[in-house]
Structure 1
Amino acid sequence: MELRNKIARDITWILLSWSAWFVPILVIVYVAFKIMGGEVEINQQNIDQVTFFTFAYHPSKIFMLVIGIIHVSGFLPFFAKQGVTRRDYFFGSGISSVLVSLMLMISAGFVTLVENILFPVIETEFIISAEAPWYLTATVFTLNLLVYFMAGWLIGAGFYRFGGIGGMLYIAIAIVMVLFSSMFWEGEEKHPLNCPFGLSNLRDLPPSVSLMGTFLLIAVMLWIVRATTRSVRIKMK
């Protein structure tokens, strides 16, 4: 357990050091868009009605997807050289992904708090809805970052073990997982594929059901990653 915690700490510090560049850059872009004002729209919403929390949501998901994709090739060989087992790497990485997702959410929330104190926004675009309590919005933000990390981790594991052809299959699986996660929380107008699948009403499910569905998706992706990396040959450089 101590070894897994150490691995989690090490990976978390590395990923947070990347986040230390990502978040300030995001703030700079956000401020630049605010200065431009009505000339910029985010998700069909004028930038003047978008808080940093909402603005950071989608770029943060992409950030987590990218670090998930490079996670296996970037960290597994390194830890294997130090004598760390694949199992300890898996659990340590899982813990770190939760911590990084939480820290990104907290960072976005802190910047938004400062923003609202300095420049209150009357009409705001929300991640879920205006009626959703803050803790549910924060939970959805964090969980969706985690989903995107897991999707990237899934893709990275597939390519690391099976190469190009097998990796493409893992991309397809990751897309399906992300699509389901998005349909739990985001509006139908943003996901035109919902209707052909007959799943356009998923967003109308109670939050508790959507949360359980999201946790299930994360659990399935974790199982696939573990099954893929359990006996994977380590490619030493």
Structure 2
Amino acid sequence: MNKPIPFSRVGFDLLQAQLIWTLWYLGILVLVNIVRLVFSADEIDTFYNHAFVASNVYMLVIGIISIYFLPYFVENGITRKNYFYGNIIASICLSILIPIIAYVITIFEGLVLSNLKQSMLHAVPDPDTNFIGDIFQSILLTPHVDMEANLLLSLGLFSINIFGFYLIGWLIGTAFYRLGVIGGLCFIAISLLIIVAKDSFLRIAMDHPLFESFSIFEAVPESMALVLVFIILLVPIFLIRLLTKRAPVKI
């Protein structure tokens, strides 16, 4: 009898595959940043800040794609449970590695371009009563900490943000895979609520202003906000496990 493959091995395989995508993504981002440095007359963000924003969308996309690893693993005798736990491990490792790689690239960028001024932009949008606009800003303008002010906090915040977006992407992809278009659209609405809550709790924890549309979260005490961030991240994890537990394998 073949020995069952542990979820740690599945996690390593998933991390390896997604890390290759990530290196391509970061390579493209480096090229984009070089073009901006060469052709922009104004001061621009560092690579780290550029990656901080772009990685939210990147992790959302590969999170959506990650459900399509499920048929491959199940067909090769790996349980849905081991796929689920393996991808949790892979996504956590990826969320830690991306900020570290971005920081290393930024250091190299600073050495190579030491003759240029490097500025850190603290983009805090003006309060907007436009609900849809506030949702998009929650996705693109997540709370940020200057890496020069507090490197560990900045890296940690980067990791939490992109891990959250990976989970949201994975949840949406799983919902479309398991429940079809209508179910997938319903879970997009749920995912937007999770993003808004996560972003708002982080803003409270970091003492950043809330968007006016989400001022209802002002009632949350600052001492509880960070705890609620981790609790809200458990919601997509629970829902993904629920949806993948008996998910049919589509060939």
Q: For the superposition of Structure 1 and Structure 2, which TM-score range results when normalised by the shorter chain?
A: 0.7 to 0.9
User: In the alignment, is residue 81 of structure 1 matched against residue 75 of structure 2?
Assistant: yes
Aligned length: 221
Aligned twin of 1:179 = 196
CA separation in 2, counterparts of 1:108 and 1:226?
30
User: In the alignment, is residue 110 of structure 1 matched against residue 127 of structure 2?
Assistant: no
Deviations 1:55-94 (A, max 9, x none): 111211111101111111x200000001111111100010
User: In the alignment, is residue 148 of structure 1 matched against residue 143 of structure 2?
Assistant: no
* Aligned mate of 2:65, from 58, 61, 70: 70
Identical positions, percent: 29
Query: Structure 2 unaligned runs (5+)?
Result: 123-142
User: In the alignment, is residue 197 of structure 1 matched against residue 221 of structure 2?
Assistant: no
* Deviation for aligned residue 1:19: 1.0
Query: Structure 1 unaligned runs (5+)?
Result: 39-45
Aligned twin of 1:54 = 49
What TM-score results when the alignment is normalised by the length of structure 1?
0.84
CA separation in 2, counterparts of 1:160 and 1:201?
36
Aligned twin of 2:94 = 100
* SS of residue matched to 2:214: coil
Check 1:129–1:79 CA distance in 2 against 1; reply closer, same or farther (3 A cut): closer
Deviations 1:101-158 (A, max 9, x none): 1111111010111122333546422562448511011000011100000000110111
Aligned twin of 2:126 = none
* SS of residue matched to 2:215: coil
Q: Which amino acid counterpart does residue 236 of structure 2 have in structure 1?
A: M
CA separation in 2, counterparts of 1:11 and 1:143?
19
Aligned twin of 1:43 = none
* SS of residue matched to 1:117: helix
User: In the alignment, is residue 230 of structure 1 matched against residue 230 of structure 2?
Assistant: no
Deviations 1:13-38 (A, max 9, x none): 00011112110100000111112224
CA separation in 1, counterparts of 2:167 and 2:180?
19
Check 1:15–1:202 CA distance in 2 against 1; reply closer, same or farther (3 A cut): farther
CA separation in 1, counterparts of 2:110 and 2:155?
16
CA contact 2:194–2:232 (8 Å) conserved in 1: yes
What TM-score results when the alignment is normalised by the length of structure 2?
0.80
CA separation in 2, counterparts of 1:97 and 1:15?
9
CA separation in 1, counterparts of 2:5 and 2:78?
12
